[in-house]
Amino acid sequence: MIRNLANPQPAGAPLTLLVTRQDGPWLQVSLPVRPNGSTGWVRGSEVRTARVTYRVEISTAAHRLTLYRSGRLVATFAAATGTGGTPTPLGTFFLTELLAPTNPGYGPYAYGLSAFSTVLTSFGGGPGQIGLHGTSDANSIGHSSSHGCIRLSNGDITTLARVLPLGTPVNIT
């Protein structure tokens, strides 16, 4: 199946994909679409690639986000994750966009992930995309309290927004 993705994305961010493999002139990429885990192939000559030195690991059990750069631990942050009814999807995803939300409930910054809720097909007028964002409810941090998104303190998401580029891999377990 051939699928065209908008560039820039509807919110204005450049289309960003995560390269998972190369086969000659072709690059296999993770796609920011349903179902989670979708991949496709693009010609390497038709895209611009960049090496990303950061990696994010999120443990839903420990409610913890761990940041690595060039394989070395940089920092850990307490996080809120999804509830039993609206779990945070598990797998390897990537950062697709960075927004300054107009809803103060999401804090000063929100990254869109390539992940989508496994139970919600829409949320807040959007397609059920999972975010990594701040929060107006600091007491939720460290608990299973979101609709599937990963919440950080506003200070922590501000720290990440200053360093993490789009395309950063995010592994959620």
DSSP string, the chain: ------SS-TTSPPP--EEEEEETTEEEEE-SSSSTT-EEEEEGGGS------EEEEEETTTTEEEEEETTEEEEEEE-BEE-SSSPPPPEEEEEEEEE--SSGGG-S-EEEEEEE-SS-S-BTTB--EEEEE--S-GGGTTSEEESS-EE--HHHHHHHHHHPPTT-EEEE-
Q: Clarify whether 147 is annotated catalytic.
A: no
Catalytic residue list? 133, 149
